[in-house]
Amino acid sequence: MTVRVAVAGASGYAGGELLRLLVQHPRVEIGALTAGSNAGQRLGALQPALRPLADRVLEPTTAEVLAGHDAVFLALPHGRSAELAGLLDDRTVIVDCGADFRLVDAAAWQRWYDTPHAGTWPYGLPELPGARERLRGARRIAVPGCYPTAVTLALAPAYAAGLVEPEAVVVAATGTSGAGKALKPHLLGSEVMGSMSPYGVGGVHRHTPEMAQNLSAAAGRPVSVSFTPTLAPMSRGILATSSAKALPGLTPDRLRETYEKAYADEPFVDLLPPGQWPSTAAVHGSNSVLLQVAHDPDAGRAVVVSAVDNLTKGTAGGAVQSMNLALGLPEELGLPTIGVAP
Amino acid sequence: MTVRVAVAGASGYAGGELLRLLVQHPRVEIGALTAGSNAGQRLGALQPALRPLADRVLEPTTAEVLAGHDAVFLALPHGRSAELAGLLDDRTVIVDCGADFRLVDAAAWQRWYDTPHAGTWPYGLPELPGARERLRGARRIAVPGCYPTAVTLALAPAYAAGLVEPEAVVVAATGTSGAGKALKPHLLGSEVMGSMSPYGVGGVHRHTPEMAQNLSAAAGRPVSVSFTPTLAPMSRGILATSSAKALPGLTPDRLRETYEKAYADEPFVDLLPPGQWPSTAAVHGSNSVLLQVAHDPDAGRAVVVSAVDNLTKGTAGGAVQSMNLALGLPEELGLPTIGVAP
Amino acid sequence: MTVRVAVAGASGYAGGELLRLLVQHPRVEIGALTAGSNAGQRLGALQPALRPLADRVLEPTTAEVLAGHDAVFLALPHGRSAELAGLLDDRTVIVDCGADFRLVDAAAWQRWYDTPHAGTWPYGLPELPGARERLRGARRIAVPGCYPTAVTLALAPAYAAGLVEPEAVVVAATGTSGAGKALKPHLLGSEVMGSMSPYGVGGVHRHTPEMAQNLSAAAGRPVSVSFTPTLAPMSRGILATSSAKALPGLTPDRLRETYEKAYADEPFVDLLPPGQWPSTAAVHGSNSVLLQVAHDPDAGRAVVVSAVDNLTKGTAGGAVQSMNLALGLPEELGLPTIGVAP
Amino acid sequence: MTVRVAVAGASGYAGGELLRLLVQHPRVEIGALTAGSNAGQRLGALQPALRPLADRVLEPTTAEVLAGHDAVFLALPHGRSAELAGLLDDRTVIVDCGADFRLVDAAAWQRWYDTPHAGTWPYGLPELPGARERLRGARRIAVPGCYPTAVTLALAPAYAAGLVEPEAVVVAATGTSGAGKALKPHLLGSEVMGSMSPYGVGGVHRHTPEMAQNLSAAAGRPVSVSFTPTLAPMSRGILATSSAKALPGLTPDRLRETYEKAYADEPFVDLLPPGQWPSTAAVHGSNSVLLQVAHDPDAGRAVVVSAVDNLTKGTAGGAVQSMNLALGLPEELGLPTIGVAP
């Protein structure tokens, strides 16, 4: 059995990564590929790395084109997904890589996006308690943001185990593909190479409420997140440093055991051996998440560093993982756990 | 049926890339992994991207350890392969990623390597005329050098068709992984980033006689190669610009048709559509070779630009492709043609 | 009047940057240049960018060679400075780029460096209250570490003004030159490019007590620092994200005014206009520090992002600035405030 | 005496580099700064590295604004210079960084630019025979292109000495700033990092006729140039590999002596010692050109590798050098010969 899959937004970075994985997925047949202003172009001109699909021509992103597939991936600007979703029936699994259906709290959505809340879909982070069950057979899936993937997996176990105070501090570096293919001056190679810079400082990045939502759920009480994203001179990868004040009783051993236990059976989350640290290179193109934990007794904090590929586990790989669950396929199918390094 | 495969030199960059491909190869079972000074270490500490093999421990590189496999890949310093090969019987296919058995001319070997010539093995570039047949069922294979792969595929069709004069000029840029993991000051990140520099200028790089050998065979007469390798600020990839003076009768159409015909049925060589140029990003981690040709009427030259991943098609991917042929497996098995980009 | 200056450790990155600045300093004459294992070599072979000094030959690092200069810069491994300093008399200003004399607390030194404390010299960060006065005419100067420069200037005003709680959280990214020219596998270009990774997580980096010392002095009470350094794929630059919990009464305006006032007259510290963020590119090769502040009301924290060039203001530029003060020269002499960008 | 200088096109990369040099030039006072669509903006928002000019506001690029300066630098798109030049009188030295006045042959201009030829101005490469004299006191100067600077200095001595055949083959890598600040998809950081790609292959780059013009003048007969430019993952720098077939009588010694003699007195051109090779890092931000020569006896070619900073000696530094000559200032004034490395 193969499943027929469409990708809306196939000319962007998330769309390209979806296709890289889907072409190599043993149970997937590639259906419609759509784009906005790039409709009508050969995919080979826009995604030169996708050799096997070079001669495919992009269609416009309409419900007609997307209808009739077993699954449709939406890699579209925020706001487009809600619109399209209403036009596709439930025989098609919709996996939305955008933000539209991630937040549970309509007021939070309204505050951060300043548009009406479209609703909430099952959240595509199978590693969270209960999530895997909700994703099995789901017809609608909200893929997590790239930063929230890296940060939630880093801190949720500590919050679930009651080890740390409900005030997280997160500083993360992302590769430039996280900002998409938009033609903005600060994303030019000349500006980016040899330079680190922050953006969205002071808690204004829209991934902040998503992280807070996840960590609050893990903690069973409200958790605030001080989040500073930075742009690093690399194409891919997120390295997140997440920390929180230790509650009494936290020891290095208890911290480590908590994470060992939390991820013992997870195929895509690896707590590294003591002394080894995550790097984004080690997950380049891979669906793995690498973690390391430390207890800083002087500062009284637990520190967790996580590395993900923002396009793979952070977007397209996470999306395919959820699609596998929704369609009853083995969860790990078509998802590499080996990074392309060096 | 699966084949059991060993990798000698598993802690280096070529060894790591071999393992990345072999772990994901549907018909391969990983056998012994060996190293020199790194023997005894966990692979996970040396190749952090190879998550599924993280707990494997490296054994010493000896004939005893390597014996009994269906195939053994040698990713060793020059000179070691000849030695080991003599100790392994013919039930094991030996795929040598080193230079020891590439050159046909013993005098050329002696001149460039200053050691006795160990012999000549079937040359692992299936795209050359007759090579595929020689590789089917071969027990010993000499994997081409990374630069010769990029340059031979770029110029052999023009020479075979008699389109250009027998004096090639090649300037190529390589990612730093081409220089291996050796701890040399000029390979430090601080030196490499933001910088281009040449090395081995004036025809002294040891890949020069290998290119000359291949192009001479294609031309049916001696071809000289002026080769300048340069080091580029990237981890992977070779971009080679190869040119030669046009012989009378060369037209843009004839040039293009020659390449279209030469590679029409090749699964790993893509002549790009007119107007599109190769980039190393598009073949990052892929076994594809991207080519584009141009005729410069003012300068009277044919120019061919080729992009390969030096570690994939340029080394480990080419090696696996040849192993597939030697063991009677489908040639394309386990070899991605999609680059990890951006 | 010109001053005659020697540089010990001229073959390393700090030594090279010192020479870049000193050669272009209008009042400096370059005297002895010394090295350890590189003594006897032409500087041109080791520091190819220092064209005007290419033919200078490195001498061994001994007190005899260094004696008799108006100023001697020590860019040596930790532990060497104390030794040499004892052999040079007070007619020579010694500017030590190493850590030996930075810490005031002998017990802290003993704990972090596990050797006897050599003493404490005037601290070469003129922007700190009272520091400029102490540096004028000083004969011995301890140049701050690169991270402490970036972090102290970022947080000291907030602590001095009593705006935040005494628990700082700092995550900083550095270019690879911060790790020096040591031949370590993780510093190879192939490992570094395209990758972010942390090191010294959990409060074990030796710059931590220096930051705590500076911020505690500013606050007038003990301040703890949770510090996570990360290695970024660039040669130069530090981007530090420093934050602390806001004390009651902190407002965005008060935060901004505090920094405007603190640095209004500082030639090398620039608080950027609202909405503009620091980047390391903007201070590449420059002695400037760029700062931006933000108040995150949801997380209840003040966040300060600072960018410095780790080799310029973070080491050699800071050292020359202090030398200027010590020798009675204008503080800004020979110190660029323009970055080489893009 | 100071000279008052305006920069038209101050928001681009060439304009920014001009300002970096001019602010630090001991005899220059910065006058009007103009821009096209960026007129009205603070320079600090567009050129964050130019701290001392951060509060300057850009004026529109008109003859009125530019009039009355001792020198005006034009860093404008092709075609604009001719227009403006006609409106400025001869009391103002005009230094044009664009192509409009570089070519002598009106037919060549017409062929390559498809617009009427505006004329020919003294060519701002003082190192060419007779050029220095022509530039002294000149009122109009055409600054060479970045590639022609690197390639002309590399090959002119060999042609002047009659050592090589009149068919040059050039492959050069440039940093992305060579392509300017234009918002084009292939210039995004995500596309550029980790990737090498060619452009303008087959002799179509507009710098080709300029190189041919210069080399033909040196040779005293027509020289053709096969030129392939490539884009490298770095912000700045050009590494050019230029070669030509050796004429009888060429020996390594004669080749070397020719270059030693040609550049013995040139302050900005350095022939490196045997065994040392140019790198773009060594000239980052510097006005120096580094050269090395080699004779390849097997291929029968002379090979010259040159490194320049495309923005400094390749554009803005060369422009200031020519301005110095035109205004009777010391040629080397304000021009660094030290690169910012690592």
DSSP per-residue letters across D307-328: EE-TTIIIIIHHHHHHHHHHTT
C-alpha–C-alpha distance, residues D21 and D236, integer Å: 16
- What values do phi and psi take at C51, rounded to 5? -55, -45
User: Which are the catalytic amino acids of D?
Assistant: 146
pTM for this entry: 0.98
Are the C-beta atoms of C8 and C59 separated by less than 8 Å? Answer: no
Residue A142 has pLDDT above 90, yes or no: yes
Cβ contact, residue pair A187, D192, below 8 Å: no
Cβ contact, residue pair D299, B190, below 8 Å: no
Percent of chain B with pLDDT over 70: 100
Question: Measured between alpha carbons, how far is residue B321 from residues B126, B330, C119 in Å?
Answer: 8, 9, 64
Contacts of C191 in chain A (CB under 8 A): 281, 342
- C-alpha closest to that of C235 among C192, C182, C191: C192
How high is the pLDDT of residue D146? 98
C-alpha–C-alpha distance, residues B221 and B215, integer Å: 9
How high is the pLDDT of residue C79? 87
Cβ contact, residue pair D277, B198, below 8 Å: yes
Averaged over C283-292, what is the pLDDT? 98
End-to-end CA distance of chain C: 36
How high is the pLDDT of residue C82? 87
Q: Who has greater pLDDT, B300 or B79?
A: B300
Nearest residue, CB atoms, A338 vs list B49, B270, B290: B49
How high is the pLDDT of residue C200? 87
Please enumerate in sequence order all residues whose Cβ is within 8 A of that of A178, keeping only pairs 6 or more positions apart, or say none. Answer: A146, A238, A310, A314
Contacts of A42 in chain B (CB under 8 A): 273
Are the C-beta atoms of A188 and C274 separated by less than 8 Å? Answer: no
Question: Measured between alpha carbons, how far is residue C325 from residues A113, C132, C145, C265 in Å?
Answer: 52, 7, 19, 16
How high is the pLDDT of residue D108? 96
Position C67 confidence tier, pLDDT thresholds 50, 70, 90: very high
Position D242 confidence tier, pLDDT thresholds 50, 70, 90: very high
Question: In whole numbers, what is the pLDDT of chain B averaged over residues?
Answer: 97
Nearest residue, CB atoms, B194 vs list C179, C185, C235: C235
Are the C-beta atoms of D285 and B195 separated by less than 8 Å? Answer: no
Are the C-beta atoms of D242 and D306 separated by less than 8 Å? Answer: yes
Q: Where are the beta strands (DSSP E) in chain D?
A: 3-8, 28-35, 59-60, 71-74, 93-96, 140-142, 164-174, 197-198, 224-231, 238-246, 269-271, 289-296, 301-308
Cβ contact, residue pair A298, C243, below 8 Å: no
User: Which are the catalytic amino acids of A?
Assistant: 146
Cβ contact, residue pair B226, D305, below 8 Å: no
Neighbors of chain C by Cβ distance (3+ pairs < 8 Å): A, B, D
C-alpha–C-alpha distance, residues A16 and A66, integer Å: 17
Nearest CA in chain D to A46: D185
Residue C103 has pLDDT above 90, yes or no: yes
Pull the structure tokens for residue C182. 């040591």
Contacts of A24 in chain B (CB under 8 A): 336, 338
Q: Who has greater pLDDT, C161 or D203?
A: C161
Interior/surface letters A170-194, b for 16+ CB within 10 angstroms, e for the rest: bbbbbbbbbbbbeeeeebbbbbbbb
pLDDT, tens digit, 9 for 90 and up, residues C34-55: 999 999 999 999 999 999 999 9
C-alpha–C-alpha distance, residues A156 and C308, integer Å: 34
Q: Catalytic: B97?
A: no
Percent of chain A with pLDDT over 70: 100
Cβ contact, residue pair B197, D307, below 8 Å: yes
Nearest residue, CB atoms, A336 vs list B24, B48, B339: B24
Is C234 exposed, middle or buried (CB count within 10 Å of its CB: 0-12, 13-18, 19+)? buried
Are the C-beta atoms of C23 and C91 separated by less than 8 Å? Answer: no
Position C330 confidence tier, pLDDT thresholds 50, 70, 90: very high
Residue D293 has pLDDT above 90, yes or no: yes
Nearest CA in chain C to A239: C196
How high is the pLDDT of residue C83? 87
Paired sense of beta strands B140-142 and A197-198, if any: unpaired
Query: Choosing from C19, C28, C66, C146, which is the catalytic residue?
Result: C146
How high is the pLDDT of residue A79? 87
C194: distance to nearest CA of chain B, Å? 8
Fill in the amino acid letter for A14.
A
Question: In whole numbers, what is the pLDDT of chain A averaged over residues?
Answer: 97
Fill in the amino acid letter for A167.
E
C-alpha–C-alpha distance, residues D299 and D165, integer Å: 13
Counting DSSP H helices and E strands in chain A, the numbers are: 11, 13
How high is the pLDDT of residue B79? 87
How high is the pLDDT of residue D200? 87
C-alpha–C-alpha distance, residues B272 and B238, integer Å: 17
Q: Which of C77-86, D89-98, D109-118 has the lowest mean pLDDT?
A: C77-86
Residue C255 has pLDDT above 90, yes or no: yes
How high is the ipTM of this complex? 0.97
Counting DSSP H helices and E strands in chain C, the numbers are: 11, 13
- C-alpha closest to that of D285 among D235, D338, D332: D338
What DSSP state is assigned to residue D249? Answer: T
Cβ contact, residue pair A341, B49, below 8 Å: yes
Nearest CA in chain D to A179: D190
A239: distance to nearest CA of chain C, Å? 6
Cβ contact, residue pair C173, A284, below 8 Å: no
Residue A82 has pLDDT above 90, yes or no: no
Residue B265 has pLDDT above 90, yes or no: yes
Question: In whole numbers, what is the pLDDT of chain C averaged over residues?
Answer: 97
How high is the pLDDT of residue A47? 98
Residue C105's SS3 state is coil
Neighbors of chain D by Cβ distance (3+ pairs < 8 Å): A, B, C
Residue A200 has pLDDT above 90, yes or no: no
C-alpha–C-alpha distance, residues D318 and D75, integer Å: 13
Question: In whole numbers, what is the pLDDT of chain D averaged over residues?
Answer: 97
Neighbours of D157 (CB within 10 A): 24
Interface of B with A (CB under 8 A): 13, 16, 20, 23-24, 42, 44-45, 47-52, 54, 176-177, 193-194, 235-236, 270, 272-273, 276, 279, 281-286, 288, 290, 336-342
Residue D83 has pLDDT above 90, yes or no: no
Position A316 confidence tier, pLDDT thresholds 50, 70, 90: very high
DSSP per-residue letters across C200-260: STTTT-TTHHHHHHHHHHHHTS--EEEEEEEE-SSSS-EEEEEEEEEPTT--HHHHHHHHH
| Paired residues of C224 in beta bridges | C167
- What values do phi and psi take at D162, rounded to 5? 65, 35
Residue A259 has pLDDT above 90, yes or no: yes
- What values do phi and psi take at A32, rounded to 5? -70, 140
Averaged over C162-167, what is the pLDDT? 98
Averaged over A124-138, what is the pLDDT? 97
How high is the pLDDT of residue C96? 98
How high is the pLDDT of residue B200? 87
C-alpha–C-alpha distance, residues D20 and D315, integer Å: 12
Nearest CA in chain C to D236: C342
Contacts of B233 in chain C (CB under 8 A): 189, 193
What DSSP state is assigned to residue A312? Answer: I
Residue B78 has pLDDT above 90, yes or no: no
- C-alpha closest to that of C173 among D147, B136, A229, D13: A229
User: Vertex D33, ends D29 and C334: CA angle to 5°?
Assistant: 40
Residue B82 has pLDDT above 90, yes or no: no
Cβ contact, residue pair B194, D307, below 8 Å: no
Paired sense of beta strands D224-231 and C140-142, if any: unpaired
**Residue in the structure block whose two tokens are 């407002």:** C251
Contacts of A176 in chain B (CB under 8 A): 342
